[in-house]
A = this chain, B = another copy of it.
């Protein structure tokens, strides 16, 4: 059985794409404050149709679905049914709870919704992660150094010469016995990607923060693909591209993929 991390490496190589497209669809994004869930469903399908051959992964963001309660979760169930076989689907859930509850979330995300991998928060430690890594085919990306301005409130706390996010990287490297753990590191902190790589060589990285958040694509690709692979998440800059048409969504995704290929070829 292929582990999640090896599936990811193979998918990147097969598709020659490091692009993960974040599905963060809301009425504000499509400039229609009266949008119904049907409108959002229609728009989500448009994004997937326009980009499924370019993206190595899609990353539905659960917050954008949960906002609508049970109707939003129905929309997520329908979204999950619409992906092609050759893309990986990462649930951006950032869950993190004690073992008994983590087991329920793992059932939800892997068994009910059928994600290939999910994002998790490390705050509660290994037993909050364990139920998600027992099956090597399913993977996790653990929050390490995030892309938001307040990331340093806690993630830079330093004991001796090691910061919290570096300790997270080090522990995840140790916990990666089944080859199914990766890390989330923001493109907004490119120099810290190198530091994380020292603590966690080989672990795949999920790098958000390029595009609307202003992180460097070039540095993310260069540092992120040393001693392991990285996939780069782009959400708003692709899914809400210019006139919101299928054509402009595809054009934006294609430009990102081309730029990423140039970075790799250099």
Tell me the A residues contacting B by CB distance below 8 Å: 24, 26, 61, 63-64, 66-74, 76-77, 92, 94-102, 104-105, 107-108, 112-113, 121-128, 143, 146-155, 157-159, 164, 167-168, 171
Q: How far is the CA of A115 from the CA of B107 in the complex (A)?
A: 24
CB distance from A189 to the nearest CB of B (A): 13
Chain A contact surface mostly: helix
CB distance from A152 to the nearest CB of B (A): 7
What are 28 A-B pairs at a CB distance below 8 A? A24-B101, A64-B101, A67-B112, A68-B108, A69-B73, A69-B76, A69-B108, A70-B74, A70-B77, A73-B73, A94-B97, A96-B96, A96-B121, A98-B147, A98-B148, A99-B148, A122-B153, A123-B143, A123-B146, A123-B154, A124-B143, A124-B146, A125-B149, A125-B152, A126-B153, A127-B149, A128-B150, A158-B159
CB distance from A78 to the nearest CB of B (A): 10
Give the oligomeric copy count. 2
- Whether A148 contacts B125 in the complex (CB less than 8 A), given A63-B102, A70-B70, A157-B159, comes out as yes
Chain B residues, Cβ within 8 Å of A124: 121, 143, 146, 148, 150-151, 153
Q: How far is the CA of A158 from the CA of B160 in the complex (A)?
A: 9
Chain B residues, Cβ within 8 Å of A100: 24
Q: How far is the CA of A128 from the CA of B154 in the complex (A)?
A: 12
Residue contact A63 to B105, C-beta cutoff 8 Å: yes
Chain B residues, Cβ within 8 Å of A94: 95-97, 121
Q: How far is the CA of A24 from the CA of B151 in the complex (A)?
A: 31
Residue contact A104 to B66, C-beta cutoff 8 Å: yes
Chain B residues, Cβ within 8 Å of A107: 67
Chain B residues, Cβ within 8 Å of A105: 63, 66-67
